[in-house]
Structure formats: structure tokens, C-alpha cells
Structure 1
Amino acid sequence: MTRGFTGHSYGTYAGGRERHGDTWVYTVRASAMLRDTMGSVRLKRGLERGRLPLEAATADVVGRVAVADAQDMEEALHGAAEAAARWAAVPAERRMRVVAEFHDLVREKADDIIETMVAEGHPRLLARWEVAGMLANTGPLTRNWIAGQLEHRQTLGDRELRLRRVPDGVVCLNPPQNATVANALLGVWVLAGGNALVVRAPRSAPLGVLHALHELVVPALERAGAPAGLLAALCVPAAPALQQWLDSPLVDDIMYFGGSEQGIAFGAACVARGKKPILELAGNDTVVVWRDADLDRAADALAEAFYGSGQICMVPNCAVVHPAVADALLERLERRARAIRPGFPEEAGALLSPVLRTDRFSEVLGQATAAGARLVCGGGRLDVHGRPDEVAGVFVEPTVVRVDGLKGARDLDVVRHETFFPLLPVVVPENLPDAELLPAVTAFVDANEYGLRHSLWADDPAVIDAYLAGVRGGGLVKVNDSHIGFLPLLPTHGGTGLTGGPGGEANFPALRTTHLQGVSVGHGVRPREAVFGEERTGPARTGDENERNH
């Protein structure tokens, strides 16, 4: 710690130790950026470029992270490869201790982790939601299920048969810029699977990642007796780091978060180089509201579309509402949307995040309204206090548009693609008999090119069963539940189509970064008889009989 600077200071973490360099990325408190953008940018750049001494850092400079280079990455990969070989030999139940320790540390340090995320720009409500996901994702129910998947043993006569997940080796994780901390911490499951983990902390938001890894994952690994070098975290630019991972013979898997077009291409590059891509790409989630739904609760779920200004892949992106209840639902949704406001991240009620590409928002909204969609509410830019400001406002009003008819709805960008804005299209299908409408709606949902999460609000069990039978895409399906809420046992990530790429599915990283292996350990087996299935095990029992007895 340097006199005059009271923020966190993190170097490159590799080999179980930190190394500080000469180049740093400084984090200025997000609320200070909103209050005085130019002054905060001048302070940040002055510190980073050496024009200002460290003593010039104000209390709003909450931390700094050392910038690594290609040599640092190479050393981290070598250390990870060496540690991975030793960690893979450790029994799975001991490796699972890392997740249990991590879970306890999240409970203990939740407030501290939330404060760091808030300082970096996450509205407090959003940060609390992300921490809730960390806890749900690592609780006892989930841990026990994953442990059962990592190894299964069965005795069959003179053999012990095993199905086990074998770690892939060195896994590199590239978190997104919008939710760096929560997604970087998915790596705790990579470690539990028996792998080494190398995390790239984005230069745009590195502090929360380094802070969370140091406070949660490093001590969890130490308590589980993991070898040094098993975890590395480096703040490096994306393009050279990804290329170095692709080129390195030490890297086995790459977890990539990003847009679908770029991510699918990157996945193909991974496969071409013999590496396993684990893709977490865009989502375009659909929520269906049927005629017998609880409209108040359904409207609450749809309003989740505006968390973080819609800049989260797993929020609702489109609603399909039964025409019999469309007007009543839109009235409820409009009230909720108008009550959502921006604010400084520390404010208890703030839910919206700044939107950088407001020009693209206007373009997408304009295309929809020009094609006949009706603006229900929103559409303007706001300042941090919630006042209209079409010139300098960095927030966008929660916006709802009504699109009439399934036919042609997917021709609109607002329906077909993830817009990443606080912009929710509500599609009202043609007024058909329910026996025709339900298959049409289900087919519409299942035709979505993306496949992260889908939801249904309905009361009739027959409608629920038909929906679940028809919607095969998606890594997660919710019925009469919060669309973005986290639950034990169910995965938080993963999907099909443009969300997960070829082979995409619900993602438990401990399983996706391992591979299934069958093992047979014989005791007194006669190979010649075993080849032709003539062998008898035990007192004149056939293999089929013995299996039935187990």
C-alpha cells in the first residue's frame, strides 16, 4: 500500500503469488464517473499514463490492477499445466471441498463482494442478485448432485465398473464485460472438476474479478490443500490473450463469453486447434403468458427484462401473450416499467445501468414502430436522476412495444435478436382457438435461433405439458417462476443454438470441462471367456442376473 492510496491493489496472480508490474489499470468509483465524467476520466488516465503521482488518487479511486503481458501469460499457463497434473490425481470428494469452502466464504463476505461490484458500476440490486446466484449455484444440493456425476461405481461379479469424469487439464476463462465477477467465479466448478484455471480479467472491469478471486477462490483452494499454480488471474487485453490460448499447446478448454457471431467463429477456431470451446453467448429469452396466468406475477417476471437495463443475457427479451389477456397484462407491465428508474449504483432502488449504444437502441425501436409495432411506454433517454435528456442522458427508459401477430414478428430485430437494451417486445398472436393457438405459440418459441432460458405462465396442466413437450431448445425452462431467479440443482448458464453453439446445453462447468471415461477393474477374470461373453461370475450367475441383483 502506498501512502495516500487506500484502494485495493492487485498484481498478476500466478504460481500462488502476486507479481506487480509497471503498468496499472485504475478503477474510479462509478458514481463519481456519473457525477463528474470528464474529471474522473482525467484522473484515471493521468494515473494510468504516469502524468499524475499515486498520491493524487482521491478516495474515489477504489483500486488498481497490474497489467500483464504475453510472458506473464506463458508463465501462468506453464504453472497451471504443472499444477493440473497433480490436482487431477486428487480424489473428487476432496476437490469438491473447494466449492463447499467457496460457498461458505461467499456467505461470510457477501457484503464486501457486493460493495466492490457496486463501486465498479453494478446497481446494488443487481449485485445482490448475482451473489444470490453464487450461493444457489454452489449449495449442498448442487454439490451432491455434481459429485454423483463425477464418479459412479458398480460391482458386477468379478469386476468393479466405474464411470467417471476425467479433467480436461488447463481451462482458460474469458468473462464478459457486463457481469465479470459472477461469470469469472463459475471457474470454481472448473477447479472442482480437477482442472487448472486461468482467468482473464477484462481491462474495462478487472478490479471486481481480482478482488473476488483473492477473497473467495484463493482461500478456498488453500483450505482444500490445492497445489500452487492451480489458479492464475491476469489483466490483459482480450485479442492477444485469446490468440495466445488458441496457439498454446498447454491449453485444453476455453470458456468464452460474448456475442453469438463472434463466439461461434471463435468456437470453430478452438476446434480447429484441438481445443474444447465452452461457449456462453447471447440469449434471446421468450416468456409466454397464457390466458389463465396470474397476470400480476407474470408482469413482475416480465419486468425482470429491465434488470441492468437489459444488458444481461438471461433476462426476458420477448413476451408472447394470449390475446384474451394482452391488454390487461400490458397495463400491469406499463405501471411496473414506469416505476423503474436509474440512479447512482449505491442507491437502494436503482436498477438501470448506463447504456452506451443509444443510437442502436433508437434504430431498433424505430424499425419496430415503422413496421407497425406500437410504443406502449418508454423510448427516451434519461439522466442519472431520471430526468429526460435526449442529448447527454446515459440511461434509457424501460421501453415496451406491442407487436401484433406471430407472422412476421421475427422479421423485426427487436424480436429476432438479443438487443441488450431495456426494450421488451410483447407479441400478441392472432386470435385463434386455443387448440390452434397453443401449437403455434410453442412452435414460435422453439423456432428461436437462441436457446438460453424460456418461461411459461399458465395454470392448466395440459397447457404446461404441451409447452414442455414442444419447447426443446434452451438450457433452462421456467414455469410460473421468476425468469432470472436462481435455484439449487438447476444450472445458471448454458444453452442451445446461438447461445451455446453446436453441442450447447445446460452448463455445469465441472461436467463441461471434463470427459466421460469408463473403467473396468477385474479380479480373477478369464480374458478368453470374457471376449465371447461365456464367462460366469460368482456361483453360476450370468452377468444379466448379477446386474439385476444390484
Structure 2
Amino acid sequence: MLTYGSYIAGRESFSDEWTYTVRASAMLDDVIGSIRVKRDLDQGRMPAEQAPDSVVGRCAVADRHDVDAALAAAAGAVRRWAARPLRDRLRFVTELHRLTREKHDEIVEMLVAEGHPRALARWEVSGIVVNTSPETVEFLAGQLEQHIPAGERRFTVRRVADGVVCLNPPQNATLANAMLGAWALAAGNALVVRAPRSAPLGVLHAMHELVVPALERAGAPAEVLSVVCSDAPQTLQQWLESPLVDDIMYFGGSEQGVAFGAECVRHGKKPVLELAGNDICVVWRDADLDLAATALAEAFYGSGQICMVPNCAVVHPDIAGELLDKLTERVRGIRPGMPEDPGVLLSPVRRTDAFQEVLDEALDLGAQLVSGGRRLDVDGTPNEVGGLFLEPTVVRVDGLKRSRLLRAVREETFFPLLPVVVPDRAPDVELMERIVEFTDANPYGLRNSLWARDTEVIDAFVAGVRGGGLLKVNDSHIGFLPVLPTHGGTGLTGGPCGEANYPALRTSHLQGVSVAAGIDPSGAVFADADAPADSNADAPADSNADAPADSNADARETP
């Protein structure tokens, strides 16, 4: 089996306490037996050498001293790493991209072992690849550092690393979200990652197989990265109290996350919050309904337990019936099964009782059940008592204003439940205004999308929807794109200071630099105030035209 200790200052640190990972398909095949095996191993009642083949790995559990050691190592390394030229730090991202492509199948298999359906695992790894693509590197290079020559002065506008960044990924997508820390490293920060005890193996594996060798190839100090598998409450409190910590990247529910963000501020830390999403997908009357239905079916990836899937559809009344028919047809093919099966999209759902409450409330308030609503066994057989899966469920809700009464529309539910809201009829211009207002009033703000052909409709939507970190038109709602952010948003998604999350930018701060040669300070103090209003009139419009062609090479060249 794979065995990982805490990774601190370039070395593994082992302990007497371990947490074991049992292959998810073995869990589904024999829940009670697998839980018993894991418990006996975790508690030391079964020697590791007697573990069955279903046990794929183990991770050492870190204590307070390990967490303190990780923070001390990070604080000692950050100044050296942040001082390295940007091109060296971006080389790390380029190497990470190359390694992720090389080990794509290996990382997918690790995710599958932890319970991610294969199709979902491939999507998650594609996000890492796109997020480190050459196009993304080139764009962020320009955001991180720009040089502007101006006579006897050379100006630099750059982003400077905050320092020690601590990252707490969510339990539902630990590996993919832990990898967002790569861009915090590229910005010059040192990074400490907490691998959740419930799913640590993928995080530690990815860090060892991808991030560590990429850092080594870029010549980074070994101490710039630490990874510990530890208890969440204790570790988060240590991070809050430590004078060595500058930023905390936190993933979780909105209510808890906003409160934690306030605690960060109270302790002098910058919170970078990745909280709940309640995304809206609008389908206009001239949309390609086949493609729109396919995009709406993305709501059921991972049983809806992903923050960036569409959580609510708003559909033009002229095409609502036809679209629902097409959506229902696609939903029939979405089924449970073992995660190794490439045709499976559904994951087990723990809170099936809460799903039933939300669904019953929607139906009591007038929603119509279009499809789904039952608990299922792994083979797709209905089982209302012990089924671990939920059937993909679609409900129709008539009326924009009335729909906000439903929790299924108002809140992120984290279930395979998609409400399709059909507004009351109105002239198209008025209807689009109402839909834009409805979408922009969403208290969450992760992603929103639109399906339409009319350019005036598209322009009205893009101009009017100010909330959210990402808008997509006529595209996969969940697909990743170079340059654009993969995460981040406004409102309950990102907290009071939420925005599109480029971790390199969120974990750094702006700084302006002027380097002069031959300037007389006595004449420079009031030079601008005394200059005539048209003092720049003779300057060419492209003031950088005389600068060497490679004047921005350090900022923009992809290593």
C-alpha cells in the first residue's frame, strides 16, 4: 500500500497514528466489513501487513508539533523563494503542467480509488491541466509583474507575496482544490496544506508526485512546501493564532466560512474564501436546446455535490416543455455504479433525509416533479430505506418571484436536484430584464451561464449580471478554460471581499517600484506640480515604442 508521512522541510515525518484509505468500490460492495477493517487499522488492532488488498494506502496523522514545524519551515523559506525572479517561479508552474499531463492517468486512478466516478475524476484533473496551461501562465505573468520605462526612471508594478499561506481543502474534492495552492507558490509564497483526515491520500500523493518534483526542477527551497494530515479544528486554530501565518485559504459552507473569515481578520490574517455556489443557467427561446439540455445535465455530476455545477435553470416559457423533454431523456442515462465504471456520474449521498425535506417542500409549494426523487442502490435498484444514491431529480417551478420561496432555488442544496424555473410570459425585452435581475440578485456568486443566439440578449445578460466570478455563454457550465478563473466569486461564495479567485493574485499584494538614474531630488519633488498641463503632449501614444522589444520579457515570457 502507499504510505505517506507528513511532508515538512523536504522530509517525511512519521507518527504512531495512521489513517487508512479503503478503496471506494470495496466500501460500496461491503460497507460494514470495509468500515470494520478501516477502524481496526486506524486504531491499531490490525497490523498494517495484514491489511486486505482493498486498503490502498495510509497517511501518518500529524500532531501540534508537526503543524508548528511546518509553519516554521515555511516562514524560514518564504523570503528566499519570494526574492527569486518571476520567471523562475513560473517555471515551477510549467513543470507542474508537464508532470500533470504525464501522470494524468495515475492521478485519475487515485481519485477513483477515493470514490470519484471516473468521468468526474477526469474532469477534475482537466481543471489542473487547464489551470497551469501556457496561456494561463502567460496571462498571470503579466498580472504579477509589469515594467514601464519612463525617461530616467524605470517603473515596475508588481504583486508581492503575502508570505505563509495555509490551505484547507474541502472533503468532497480534496486533491483538485489542494492543487490551487500551486499558484500561491508561484506568487512567491510558502504553502502549508492540511490534508483532511477523511480523504488525505490523494492530496499527499499529488503533492509528492507533482508539486514536490516541480518545485525541485524550479530550484525552490524544499521548506517552501509542507503537507500535514491533521484534525481540522486544532489545525485551523493553530493557524489563526500563529504569528507566522499570513493568509488562510478556506473551503466550506457559506455560513461557517464567512464566520471563519471574520475570525481570520480578527487575528490579522487575510482570508481567501471558497464557499458554496448556487449557480444559475439561463436558457433563452432561441437556444440550441440539445446542447442546453446537455449542459443542464451537468447538474448531476458527482450527485450535485460540487459547488460549480448548475443548481437552478431559468427557461424561457416558449421552449420550457421541449427543453424539459430533452433534459428528461438525458437524465435517464445518468446512473449510479462503481467509480471505476466510466459511464457512472453519481456519487453516494450522505444526507438523503435532507434531500427528501427539500424536495417535499418544493412539491408542497407547487413545484411539479418531472423526474427522479427516489433513493437507489449501487446497481440502480430503488431502495427507499438503505439506498446510498439519489436518483437525478428535476422539478418545474412556475414564476420567478415565487421560486425564491423554495429552498431548492434559494440555497445551495448539494443534491442531484435541479429546479427548472419558468417565468411568467412577458415581452422579450421585459422578460430578459426580469431574468437578469433575478440572476444578479442571487446571494451566491460563483458561476452563471446563458444559452442564446441573439447577440442583443447575450449583451444584455453579460452587461447586467455583475455577481459571480465567471459568466459563460453557449458553453459547458462546469468546463475549465485557459486564462479564466476556475474558482472564486462574490456574495456567499466568496464572502464580503469575494471575487474571481486567481490564487496568485489573492495571496499577494500590489506594489509600485521606481528605479531612477541621474535624478536631482531637489528638482524632482515638485516637478509634476510645476509642469505645464500639456507636458506629455510630445510623448508618442505608444510611449513604450522606443523601449527594447524584450522590456517585458521577465513579466510575460513563458519559461
TM-score band, normalised by the shorter chain? Answer: over 0.9
Residue 546 of structure 1, CA deviation:
4.1
- Distance between the aligned counterparts of 1:119 and 1:476, measured in 2? 31
1:169 to 156, 159, 163: 163
The yes-or-no answer on 1:446 pairing with 2:443 is: no
The yes-or-no answer on 1:240 pairing with 2:229 is: no
Residue 274 of structure 1, CA deviation:
1.2
Residue 408 of structure 1, CA deviation:
1.9
> Secondary structure, in 3 states, of the residue corresponding to 1:13?
strand
Residue 542 of structure 1, CA deviation:
4.1
- Which moved further from structure 2: 501-510 or 297-306? 501-510
- Distance between the aligned counterparts of 1:500 and 1:49, measured in 2? 38
Count of matched residue pairs: 541
The alignment's TM-score, normalised by the length of structure 2, stands at 0.95
Residue 533 of structure 1, CA deviation:
2.0
Structure 2 counterpart of 1:127, one-letter code: A
Structure 1 counterpart of 2:225, one-letter code: L
2:202 matched residue in structure 1: 208
1:329 matched residue in structure 2: 323
The yes-or-no answer on 1:273 pairing with 2:267 is: yes
> Could you list the per-position Cα deviations for residues 273-306 of structure 1 after superposition, in whole angstroms to 9, with x for gaps in the alignment?
1111000000000000000000000000000000
**What is the RMSD computed on CA atoms of the aligned residues?**
1.2
1:156 matched residue in structure 2: 150
The alignment's TM-score, normalised by the length of structure 1, stands at 0.97
The yes-or-no answer on 1:495 pairing with 2:482 is: no
Residue 524 of structure 1, CA deviation:
1.3
Contact 1:536 1:542 in 2 (8 A): no
The yes-or-no answer on 1:366 pairing with 2:360 is: yes
Task: State, as a whole percentage, how many aligned pairs show the same letter.
Answer: 67
- Distance between the aligned counterparts of 1:477 and 1:59, measured in 2? 45
Structure 2 counterpart of 1:370, one-letter code: D
- Distance between the aligned counterparts of 2:513 and 2:539, measured in 1? 18
Residue 183 of structure 1, CA deviation:
0.3
2:249 matched residue in structure 1: 255
- Distance between the aligned counterparts of 2:62 and 2:37, measured in 1? 22
Contact 1:173 1:187 in 2 (8 A): yes
1:294 matched residue in structure 2: 288
- Distance between the aligned counterparts of 1:137 and 1:278, measured in 2? 18
The yes-or-no answer on 1:178 pairing with 2:175 is: no
- Alpha-carbon distance change, 289 to 219 in structure 1, aligned in 2, over 3 angstroms: same
> Secondary structure, in 3 states, of the residue corresponding to 1:342?
coil
The yes-or-no answer on 1:105 pairing with 2:99 is: yes
Contact 1:157 1:543 in 2 (8 A): no
Contact 1:190 1:513 in 2 (8 A): yes
1:228 matched residue in structure 2: 222
> Could you list the per-position Cα deviations for residues 365-390 of structure 1 after superposition, in whole angstroms to 9, with x for gaps in the alignment?
00000000000000000000000001
- Distance between the aligned counterparts of 1:300 and 1:58, measured in 2? 41
Contact 1:156 1:547 in 2 (8 A): no
Structure 1 counterpart of 2:267, one-letter code: R
- Distance between the aligned counterparts of 2:334 and 2:208, measured in 1? 34
Contact 1:526 1:535 in 2 (8 A): no
Structure 1 counterpart of 2:180, one-letter code: L
2:454 matched residue in structure 1: 460
- Which moved further from structure 2: 265-274 or 454-463? 265-274
1:434 matched residue in structure 2: 428
> Secondary structure, in 3 states, of the residue corresponding to 2:461?
helix
The yes-or-no answer on 1:74 pairing with 2:64 is: no
2:372 matched residue in structure 1: 378
2:382 matched residue in structure 1: 388
2:550 matched residue in structure 1: none
Contact 1:161 1:521 in 2 (8 A): yes
Residue 528 of structure 1, CA deviation:
2.5
- Distance between the aligned counterparts of 2:343 and 2:498, measured in 1? 36
- Alpha-carbon distance change, 534 to 46 in structure 1, aligned in 2, over 3 angstroms: closer
> Could you list the per-position Cα deviations for residues 523-550 of structure 1 after superposition, in whole angstroms to 9, with x for gaps in the alignment?
111222222125999xxx9456447433
> Could you list the per-position Cα deviations for residues 377-414 of structure 1 after superposition, in whole angstroms to 9, with x for gaps in the alignment?
00000000000001110000000000000112111100
1:353 to 347, 361, 370: 347
- Alpha-carbon distance change, 534 to 514 in structure 1, aligned in 2, over 3 angstroms: closer
- Distance between the aligned counterparts of 2:430 and 2:351, measured in 1? 40
- Distance between the aligned counterparts of 2:2 and 2:209, measured in 1? 12
Structure 2 counterpart of 1:465, one-letter code: D
Structure 1 counterpart of 2:282, one-letter code: V
- Distance between the aligned counterparts of 2:489 and 2:232, measured in 1? 23
> Secondary structure, in 3 states, of the residue corresponding to 1:344?
coil
> Secondary structure, in 3 states, of the residue corresponding to 1:229?
helix
Structure 1 counterpart of 2:112, one-letter code: V
1:531 to 512, 525, 528: 525
> Could you list the per-position Cα deviations for residues 345-379 of structure 1 after superposition, in whole angstroms to 9, with x for gaps in the alignment?
00111110000000000000000000000000000
Structure 2 counterpart of 1:484, one-letter code: I
> Could you list the per-position Cα deviations for residues 83-133 of structure 1 after superposition, in whole angstroms to 9, with x for gaps in the alignment?
111101100110001100000000110111111110010000000000111
Structure 2 counterpart of 1:437, one-letter code: L
Structure 1 runs not aligned, ≥5 long? 1-6
- Distance between the aligned counterparts of 1:220 and 1:341, measured in 2? 38
> Could you list the per-position Cα deviations for residues 190-223 of structure 1 after superposition, in whole angstroms to 9, with x for gaps in the alignment?
1100000000000010000000110000000010
Residue 237 of structure 1, CA deviation:
1.0
1:35 matched residue in structure 2: 29
- Distance between the aligned counterparts of 2:537 and 2:374, measured in 1? 69
- Distance between the aligned counterparts of 1:200 and 1:220, measured in 2? 20
> Secondary structure, in 3 states, of the residue corresponding to 1:407?
helix
Structure 1 counterpart of 2:151, one-letter code: G
For 1:13-24, what aligned pairs fall within 5 Å after superposition? 13-24=7-18
> Secondary structure, in 3 states, of the residue corresponding to 2:107?
helix
- Distance between the aligned counterparts of 1:544 and 1:339, measured in 2? 66
2:335 matched residue in structure 1: 341
